[in-house]
């Protein structure tokens, strides 16, 4: 008798809780638009209080957004990572957003991303601070600076490919991460280290990256907590390196010396503040950001490049012929940037990889004031995420969005349409290292087709696209030099 009464009370309590949650969502949580704007909010669901639809996003990954788009169209609402959010797709919509930077929207990342990269990171800065930092870092990616990188990039790429060829089998995605991390760490941060140190740094950086989109609460065992612990280890590893660079710059104050890497340029731009602990922490934030930008998205694109060239032997054959025609043989040394940019079909191949599988799926913004988009209100204070991958795939400028076809880039108008093809973002805050990433991809593609043959060890590999595209099982592959048979 007592047990039945207890069960009844539990059921009644559960029903009351569910009813309260429903009322909260129905009349408050899902109706937090701008009351002064007569336009309706975009369609969509808000999920549970605080959690929103974060769990569904983590479970379904890219399919979460695909299902939402099929159901609601190119503009819809949701709640992810404890923030009311509008998701926007389509070149015309994206153009409105990116052309309104600092007017209608401003840069914004989830709280977890902000904490893990730190306030000193370029993508976390705004206004004059962002413009000043960006101008400094841009010098590290000027054509003149890029020309000094190509020979070192080729050296690192060739060394990696030689290692892959002597192994029975390699997992392409982890190897691409290690390759791009080694390139970025050496050329952008100026940090040269042994294999064990490189492995430890890469492991900590990946822990940070794996948790940049997590609930904004640091609870032991949860994502943000793990990421913050890894970030502290990265800071400790970078501290001595940065202080050594500072001492070198102070000793050479007033003397002309060549800038070696992007971090050197930042140090020399603000050298008078060099002994400020806050400034040193900002340099650590910048170094971690550059290591991330120099490896994570580039590694994703590099893995996609290897897979797509394997799956398209005619494109691979055509690329090889054009490279040989331009004198890019297996023993050729790249001495300047012109050698990389003169191969037209190489540019087409890289464009097509970045169109079909852009390394970044989208980017976050914060709405500064309510505005209209597609007949809906985009409320002030909400988060906004614009899609890169879905926008590129539905662009009318490409005949078949799912087919790998480098030839479509011959006189394609997308070259002059910045919001139909924008794999590294667009507007004032496009990825500052996009040209660096493209050079890395071009050198990798050229070295691959002129020096190696490769065969996938897995039939029909499965790919995930959240937060960046990657093969679920790492893409096991066998590489051999061209003199050997696979």
Which whole-number Å values give the CA distances from 428 to 102, 201, 289, 432, in the listed order? Answer: 10, 31, 18, 10
Distance of alpha carbon 440 from alpha carbon 346, whole angstroms: 12
Is 93 in contact with 373 (CB distance < 8 Å)? Answer: yes
Burial string for 298-334 (b: 16+ CB within 10 Å, else e) reads bbbbbbbbbbbbbebeebbebbbebbeeeebeeebeb
18 a known binding residue?
no
Q: With H, G, I as helix, E, B as strand and everything else as coil, classify residue 76.
A: strand
Q: Which residues contact 142 (CB under 8 A, 6 or more apart)?
A: none
**Mode of pairing for the β-strands spanning 83-88 and 383-387:** parallel
Helix runs in 86-142, H state only: 91-98, 111-117, 127-138
Of the CA atoms within 13 Å of residue 187, those in its CB half-sphere come to 28
Instruction: Tokens for 114, please give them.
Output: 């902000």
Distance of alpha carbon 68 from alpha carbon 45, whole angstroms: 9
Residue 322 φ/ψ, nearest 5 degrees:
-70, -35
Distance of alpha carbon 11 from alpha carbon 219, whole angstroms: 31
Residue 76 φ/ψ, nearest 5 degrees:
-150, 160
Give binding residues for heme as ranges: 431
Q: Which residues are annotated as a binding site?
A: 431
């Amino acid at each position: 008798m007592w047990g039945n009464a207890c069960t009844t009370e539990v059921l009644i309590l559960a029903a009351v809780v569910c009813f309260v949650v429903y009322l909260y969502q129905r009349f408050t949580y899902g109706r937090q638009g701008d009351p002064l704007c007569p336009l309706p909010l975009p369609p969509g669901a808000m999920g549970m209080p605080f959690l929103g639809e974060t769990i569904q996003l983590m479970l379904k990954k890219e399919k979460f957004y695909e299902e939402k788009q099929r159901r609601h169209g190119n503009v819809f609402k949701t709640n992810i990572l404890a923030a009311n959010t509008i998701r926007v797709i389509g070149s015309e919509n994206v153009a409105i957003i990116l052309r309104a930077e600092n007017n209608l929207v401003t840069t914004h990342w989830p709280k977890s991303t902000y904490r893990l990269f730190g306030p000193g990171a370029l993508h976390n800065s705004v206004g004059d601070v962002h413009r000043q930092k960006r101008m400094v870092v841009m010098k590290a990616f000027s054509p003149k600076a890029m020309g000094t990188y190509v020979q070192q990039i080729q050296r690192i790429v060739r060394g990696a490919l030689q290692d892959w060829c002597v192994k029975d089998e390699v997992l392409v995605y982890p190897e691409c991460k290690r390759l791009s991390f080694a390139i970025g760490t050496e050329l952008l941060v100026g940090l040269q280290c042994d294999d064990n140190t490189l492995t430890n740094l890469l492991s900590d950086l990946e822990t940070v990256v794996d948790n940049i989109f997590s609930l904004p609460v640091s609870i032991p065992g949860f994502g943000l907590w793990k990421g913050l612990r890894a970030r502290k280890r990265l800071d400790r590893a970078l501290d001595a390196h940065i202080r050594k660079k500072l001492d070198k710059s102070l000793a050479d104050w007033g003397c002309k010396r060549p800038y070696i890497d992007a971090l050197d340029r930042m140090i020399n731009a603000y050298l008078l503040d060099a002994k400020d602990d806050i400034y040193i922490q900002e340099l650590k934030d910048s170094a971690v950001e550059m290591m991330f930008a120099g490896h994570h998205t580039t590694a994703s694109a590099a893995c996609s490049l290897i897979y797509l060239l394997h799956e398209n032997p005619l494109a691979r054959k055509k690329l090889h012929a054009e490279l040989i025609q331009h004198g890019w043989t297996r023993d050729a040394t790249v001495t300047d940037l012109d050698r990389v940019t003169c191969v037209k079909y190489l540019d087409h191949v890289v464009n097509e990889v970045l169109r079909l599988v852009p390394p970044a799926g989208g980017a976050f913004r914060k709405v500064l004031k309510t505005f209209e988009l597609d007949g809906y209100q985009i409320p002030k204070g909400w988060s906004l995420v614009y899609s890169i991958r879905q926008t590129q795939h539905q662009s009318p400028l490409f005949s078949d969005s799912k087919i790998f076809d480098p030839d479509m880039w011959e006189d394609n108008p997308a070259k002059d349409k910045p919001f139909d093809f924008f794999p590294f973002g667009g507007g004032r805050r496009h990825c500052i290292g996009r040209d660096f990433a493209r050079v890395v991809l071009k050198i990798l593609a050229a070295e691959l087709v002129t020096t190696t043959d490769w065969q996938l060890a897995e039939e029909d590999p499965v790919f995930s696209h959240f937060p960046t595209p990657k093969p679920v099982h790492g893409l096991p592959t066998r590489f051999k030099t061209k003199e050997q048979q696979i």
